[in-house]
Amino acid sequence: MTSGTAFSGDDPRQLLSGTRELARKVRKTQRATWFPLLVLAAVTFAAIPFRYSPHRLGTCAATGPGRVCTVYPDALLVYWPAALVLAYAAIAAFYIRRSRARGVGTRVRPYVIAGIILALAMTGSLLWTLYHPLAFTLAGPGLFSALHSYPFAIGLALVLLAWAERSGALLAMALGYSVVVLVTVAFGSVGGHRELGFPVQLVTAGSVLLLGGIGFLLAQRPWQRAA
């Protein structure tokens, strides 16, 4: 329960190592990485049914014999921003409640704010891609589509959470997750079969988040109060 042995004496070396030990201890108490990962996994999996809602037709262009149009499920344009804002609000509430219970705060506000801003910005960007003629040329398969996805926005925000928690493990996980999302979106778009690849991306992204959340849950063991 105490750190008396780790932080005692007046020897400079002891004092320095004691401060490091204290910092580690505080970070261990603060970390609750599993919660946002599990919430975001749930949000990602819950998006799958909305994928099959009626599609909104965006900008079209003539290509040889026919024409090609940008499309996006209508319901997803409402679901994602609403679900992500609610998810980040829940994450903020969880950290505040935990902070009060444990007596030590966490700098989670930048993560929550960035997550909400990214979710809203992604919606604006998607609408622009759908309706702006210039965006049509960019909106085809490839990296642009990959960057224009809500799961990728989740990954970007997770990098910020890794900074807030000073967690190298979460940083590695967030970067790995982002790469997986980019690859699945890019491959899911190949050959104009984006609508077939789309659920694969959601399933993959949700699975990575779920597995990450379970891994951090087992590692951080929130049922054991930090000493």
Partner 1 sequence: MTSHAVNGLDDVVHQRVRLGILTIAHEARRVEFGYLRATLDVTAGNLSQHLGVLENAGLIAIEKGYVGKRARTWVTLTNAGRAALAEEIAQLKLLINRVEHPDTPPDHGRSGAGRPAPPRPGPGDPGWS
Least spacing, CB of residue 31 vs partner 1, in Å: 10
Q: Is 166 in a helix, a strand, or coil?
A: coil
8 binds partner 1 (CB under 8 A): yes
Least spacing, CB of residue 157 vs partner 1, in Å: 18
Angle of helix 168-189 relative to helix 194-220, nearest 10 degrees?
A: 170
Question: Do 26 and 6 contact (CB within 8 A), yes or no?
Answer: no
What is the contact mask toward partner 1 in residues 16 to 55, using x (rule: CB under 8 A)?
x-xxxxxxxxxx-xx-------------------------
**Alpha-carbon distance 6 to 15, whole Å?**
9
Q: Which is nearer to partner 1, 2 or 224 (CB)?
A: 2
Question: Do 141 and 186 contact (CB within 8 A), yes or no?
Answer: yes
Least spacing, CB of residue 105 vs partner 1, in Å: 4
Q: Which is nearer to partner 1, 99 or 125 (CB)?
A: 99
Q: Which is nearer to partner 1, 53 or 220 (CB)?
A: 220
Least spacing, CB of residue 99 vs partner 1, in Å: 8
Q: Give the Cα-Cα-Cα angle 172, 173, 179 (nearest 5 degrees).
A: 90
Range 84-123, binding partner 1 (CB under 8 A): 99-100, 102-107
DSSP bridge pairs for 181: none
Least spacing, CB of residue 80 vs partner 1, in Å: 29
10 binds partner 1 (CB under 8 A): yes
220 binds partner 1 (CB under 8 A): no
* Count of chain residues binding partner 1 (CB under 8 A): 36
Residue 177 one-letter amino acid? Y
* Residue from 70, 123, 145, 167 binding partner 1 (CB under 8 A): 167
Where do we find the tokens 């590695």? 172
Helix H or strand E segment including 7: none
**Alpha-carbon distance 184 to 181, whole Å?**
5
The sign of the CA dihedral 152, 42, 192, 188 is positive
Q: Which is nearer to partner 1, 11 or 131 (CB)?
A: 11
Question: Token digits for 78?
Answer: 């409402």
Interface residues with partner 1 (CB under 8 A)? 1-4, 7-10, 12-13, 15-16, 18-27, 29-30, 99-100, 102-107, 166-168, 171
